[in-house]
Amino acid sequence: MTRTGQPCLTRLNEINCSCLPVLCDNGKPNLAFADSLSEGLGFLGGIVEFGEGRAKERQETRDKVSVPHFSNAELHQPTKLYPNIKTPILPTQIMTAATQPPAPSPTVSPFQPSGHHPHAPLPTTTLSTLLSSPTPIPIILDGALATHLESLGANISTSLWSASVLLTNSSLIYRTHLSYYRAGASIAVTASYQASIPGLCENLGLSVEEAEEVVRKSVELAQEARVDYLKELASEAACDARSREEPSKQLQNQYQNRPLFIAGSIGPYGAYLANGSEYTGHYPLLPPFPHSIPILQDFHRRRISTLISAGVDILACETLPSLPETTALVSLLQEEFPEIPACFSFTLRDESSISDGTPLPSIVQLLNPVPQVLAIGVNCVPQSIALPALKTLSTLTHKPLIIYPNSGEAWDAETRDWFGARTEKRDLSERCLEWWEAGARIIGGCCRTTPEDIRVIAETLRDVESRKGEEP
């Protein structure tokens, strides 16, 4: 499965891939703790007061967002689908149903969060600042969304996978984000991977405006989790100060003193098709490249606009399988959303090419000149090819690398089940160090990874940085 619950076809060599042409030249409160506990108590108390002041309001409003609510049974009823659809709707068919074009993005300083939400005051440090630090700083990404949702009892068997939980039991998504923050993640990825506007409209019969509210809710849930986690830390710090005890191990963790970010997930067109094509890049219903570019831009435009207006700090353009879709996203961001930074991560055919067969050098050639692209890397890939791909990328770009591979298990498409052994604790820690040494600066997990896996990654990289600080 992907981090959102989609089958992850890790036997890439068994997939009938279709190569596409290679392109020619062409940072909510990010409330960092004060340098000393005594200096920071007033600030921390402010977080507590803020959190308590919001608690009742959140309780009253959490389920009052203007998003239609469906039970799991209703999500499976054919009457909730468009009755006459035989093939997926092209994005332009749904986008033309909207009476208004997307609101233009506000003009803000480059790479600052453009949205504002009452749950999320603007952070004081951007991800770009951390990644450009002269001394490399590890940034911990969260893990699989669907895997933890299932452990909490969520049903993700619909065509929308974990995105359906935004409609049926959104509190589970909030709990998942909170669990990953507690485990040491610095970045929470929203539950919008499969929540494309066309997909929500097609599968649930929503209007474009209703679909946008679903996407917006995915951001609000992550924002609530971030505020409540900071409230937990502030409350614990205040308790430590009152008892005059040493700060807890949790507060000693360097990652707790850093900004917490929210990344808006942008899943590929193939995730909307739900036919495994995010692992091939083969979109037969679209015209050939470059004529597919406007259609792919139409597909992504409104979700990106909604995520930005809701207040994400960065976009996670993830599980991308093809050069045409990457080209469409890059040009869309540059032309219409120049204020938002993004990370680009890809699925792979092998260690030297992405899923459609495009060589990694051609992908990097496209992304290297774009300042908005903060990191390049891979996700939803077997660990066996993740490291070699990272080593290749490190020779092609000076940008930080991002990696969040699968757990080590493999997906059997015939039996629709996972097989093989997970990479556990010690082995995961060793691999994490290898990824770090290969240039990865944002590290997390994808399919079948859990908060415990993220805890192992956070502790491993914290130890790396501690040793660095002790060097003369």
Residue 165 lies in a domain: yes
- CA torsion 60→61→67→72, rounded to 10°? -40
Residues 105-119 have a mean pLDDT of: 41
Count of domains observed in the chain: 1
Residue 61 lies in a domain: no
pLDDT digits (tens, 9 = 90+) for 330-372: 999 999 999 999 999 999 999 999 999 999 999 999 999 999 9
Q: What is the pLDDT of residue 157?
A: 72
Instruction: Retrieve residue 360's tokens.
Output: 């990694």
Rounded to 5 degrees, φ, ψ at 194 are -95, -5
CB 457 within 8 A of CB 464: no
CA distance 159 to 157: 7
With left for phi above 0 and alpha for psi between -120 and 50, is residue 431 left, alpha or beta? Answer: alpha
Q: What is the pLDDT of residue 88?
A: 40
Instruction: Retrieve residue 43's tokens.
Output: 């600030």
CB 264 within 8 A of CB 314: yes
**242, containing H or E segment:** helix 208-243
Rounded to 5 degrees, φ, ψ at 440 are -70, 130
pTM of the full structure: 0.75
With pLDDT > 90 as the criterion, what percentage of the chain qualifies?
Answer: 53
Question: Which structural domain range is residue 340 located in?
Answer: 27-56+111-470
**384, containing H or E segment:** helix 383-394
User: In terms of DSSP H, where are the helices of 1-123?
Assistant: 37-61, 72-76, 91-95
Q: What is the pLDDT of residue 6?
A: 53
Long-range contacts formed by 460-465: CB under 8 A, 24+ apart: 460/428, 460/429, 460/432, 460/433, 461/138, 461/140, 461/432, 461/436, 462/138, 462/184, 462/253, 462/254, 462/255, 464/138, 464/433, 464/436, 465/137, 465/138, 465/254
pLDDT digits (tens, 9 = 90+) for 291-301: 999 999 999 99
Q: What is the pLDDT of residue 23?
A: 37
Give me the CATH number covering residue 330.
3.20.20.330
CA 406-133-190 angle, 5° bins: 40
CA distance 356 to 63: 41
Instruction: Retrieve residue 249's tokens.
Output: 């191990």
Amino acid (1-letter code) at residue 243: S
Tell me: pLDDT of 21 over 80. Answer: no
CA distance 211 to 217: 10
Q: What is the pLDDT of residue 409?
A: 74
Residue 339 lies in a domain: yes
Bridge partner residues of 348 (DSSP): 354
Instruction: Retrieve residue 419's tokens.
Output: 């097989």
Tell me: pLDDT of 430 over 70. Answer: yes
DSSP state of 359: B
Residue 2 lies in a domain: no
Residue 139 lies in a domain: yes
Q: What is the pLDDT of residue 54?
A: 38
Q: In the predicted model, what is the mean pLDDT of the chain?
A: 76
Residues 106-126 have a mean pLDDT of: 48
Rounded to 5 degrees, φ, ψ at 249 are -55, -35
Residue 82 lies in a domain: no
Tell me: pLDDT of 427 over 50. Answer: yes
CB 170 within 8 A of CB 28: no
Residue 8 lies in a domain: no
Residue 404 lies in a domain: yes
DSSP state of 257: G
Token pair 């309001």 is found at 57
pLDDT digits (tens, 9 = 90+) for 32-61: 333 332 333 333 333 333 333 433 443 343
User: In terms of DSSP H, where are the helices of 244-292?
Assistant: 249-252, 269-273
- Quote the radius of gyration of the chain (alpha carbons, Å): 21
Within 10 Å of residue 246's Cβ, how many Cβ atoms? 9
Rounded to 5 degrees, φ, ψ at 349 are -85, -40
pLDDT digits (tens, 9 = 90+) for 218-266: 999 999 999 999 999 888 777 766 555 554 444 344 445 678 999 999 9
CA distance 114 to 220: 15
